[in-house]
Amino acid sequence: MKRLFGIETEYGLSMPDGNPRTQVNDSRRLVAACTVPHALGWDYSNEDPRADIRGFRATHLSQDPVDAAFDEGARPGGADERADRILVNGARFYNDHGHPEYATPECSRLLDLVAHDRAGERIALAAAKAVGATLYKNNSDYSGASYGTHENYLVPREMSYERMAAGLLPLLISRQLFVGAGKVGSEAGRPVEFQLSQRADFMTEVAGVDTLYRRPIFNTRDEPHADAARWIRLHVICGDANRSEWATAMKVGMVSVALDLIEIDEAPVWRFADPVRAFSDLSKDHEFCWKIALGRDSWTTGPDVLESYLAAAGKHLAGKDAETDWVLSEWNDALIDLRTDPTRLADRADWAAKRALLATYAEDVGKWETDAMRAAELEYHDIDPATSLFDVLVDMGRMRRLVEEARIGDCMATAPNTRAKHRGQVVAEQADRIEAIGWRRVVVGGKAVEFEVEGTQ
């Protein structure tokens, strides 16, 4: 696909005798145990999380009050709080608010991104084993704490906030029917046995710059990590952490397709009466009707919204490139399965696979909302193949795979053919001489060199 994209995963961290008060230091220690060749010296000079693409700068960012109480006014971690590692494959591995976070290198092909996302699991797992930790690729602790899996898409600056928000919000809300990771129970609002999305309980605003609290469906942070006059980095924070390779590919592929439609002014037009409520309602609809209110007496459905994007893409984007055609073909197949029998998605959609797995256990346990059911769900997200229930499904041939193990192994040490290749090369050859390095540039021997966005794909 003709676009740079990447995924940042904040892993859930469990240490023997660990707790939220020790979590920041535990996470730093884990990151420091990274076994992949890397450099130090992350360059923060281009970072400004308060900048808003709507044209202003927020005076402050909201903080979770529970976390603030954990810290009791002190800032945990000290000067090297983030323990940044810049890896030989162009990725960044660091501590983010007590979560080991793996940010993939910038990719321009879906399969590269899937392979690098999975390589991140391997890299994080090796570090976790070194310090006796367990990592979960999920987004919630079942007690009201959520942590993110963010997607990044490079888009031209001329695509304004208004165009992006109007064209993307309906898809960001509806795509959970394919790519939600599923969750036992509810942490906000109406109680349910099971819902499609890990994050729906935590999306309380339509749009905004915050990410730690009062989280928005459409994040307006304006931190392009490229020439700001030419580029916006769309930062999507409402998605789930996926174990399924198909879901990872479709999560990013569907948004890329929508961005392509927005660029040519062909995205479908929907006005939801209450986007935040629609996000939650879709997630919690156990009858699978997936209704979305449009106005006082009118409504549509999640599948209809997904179909509208597919129809527009089929008309305007078919044949653009092989990956776009693959996304549209999978989108079509999944939509048919969703309308016919949603359980058919159990071989590729995390929520459906997990629901089928846990339904077996629910009969045994007696009901859904129990510690035993949540424990089984948590084990689905364990990234250690030796203990993960997701990997049990893979081993049984119940989950589709898109990338070979050998390719994942290669991606632990090799950057994709984007500007990340140059970052990885500098790390491989001059790690000890690097004074500062980031997404956008490296400084060696007092000389700064830019990593160009274009010309490396």
Question: Of the ranges 106-114, 155-163, 168-176, 430-438, which one interacts with other proteins (CB under 8 A)?
Answer: 106-114
**Residue 340, interface with other proteins (CB under 8 A)?**
yes
Backbone φ and ψ of 7, nearest 5°: -130, 135
Round the CA-based radius of gyration of the chain to a whole number and report it. 21
Which one of 26, 52, 84, 96 is the catalytic residue? 96
Per-residue exposure over 4-43, b if at least 16 CB sit within 10 Å of its own CB, e if not? bbbbbbbbbbbbeebebebbbbbbbbbbebbebebbeebb
Nearer to other proteins, 146 or 176 (CB): 146
Q: Is 71 a catalytic residue?
A: no
DSSP 8-class letter at 247: H
User: Site residues for other proteins, window 149-178 (CB under 8 A)?
Assistant: 150
Cβ-Cβ contacts under 8 Å for 386 (sequence gap 6 or more): none
**Residue 145, interface with other proteins (CB under 8 A)?**
yes
Give how far Cα 271 sits from Cα of 39, 162, 170, 334, Å: 47, 13, 8, 24
Question: Of the ranges 190-198, 271-279, 282-290, 321-329, which one interacts with other proteins (CB under 8 A)?
Answer: 321-329
User: Site residues for other proteins, window 390-409 (CB under 8 A)?
Assistant: 392, 396-403
Structure tokens at 115: 């392979």
Evaluate the CA torsion angle 260, 265, 266, 269 in order and state its sign.
Answer: positive
Using DSSP, state whether 434 is helix, strand or coil.
strand
**Residue 311, interface with other proteins (CB under 8 A)?**
yes
Nearer to other proteins, 307 or 426 (CB): 307
Nearer to other proteins, 88 or 399 (CB): 399
CB of 13 to other proteins, least distance (A): 7
Cβ-Cβ contacts under 8 Å for 457 (sequence gap 6 or more): 2, 4, 108, 417, 418
**From 161, 231, 299, 326, residue interacting with other proteins (rule: CB under 8 A):** 326
Query: How many residues of this chain interact with other proteins, rule: CB under 8 A?
Result: 78
Nearer to other proteins, 264 or 449 (CB): 264
Nearer to other proteins, 2 or 230 (CB): 2
**Residue 335, interface with other proteins (CB under 8 A)?**
yes
CB of 399 to other proteins, least distance (A): 7
Q: With beta carbons less than 8 A apart as the criterion, state whether 254 and 178 touch.
A: yes
User: Site residues for other proteins, window 250-289 (CB under 8 A)?
Assistant: none
**Residue 318, interface with other proteins (CB under 8 A)?**
yes
Euclidean distance between CA atoms 451 and 441, whole angstroms? 5
Nearest to 303 by CA among 267, 335, 278: 335
User: Site residues for other proteins, window 192-231 (CB under 8 A)?
Assistant: 211-213
**From 161, 361, 413, 456, residue interacting with other proteins (rule: CB under 8 A):** 361
Binding mask 67-86 toward other proteins (x if CB under 8 A, else -) reads x--x----------------
**Residue 374, interface with other proteins (CB under 8 A)?**
yes
Euclidean distance between CA atoms 290 and 283, whole angstroms? 8
User: Which residues are tagged catalytic?
Assistant: 96
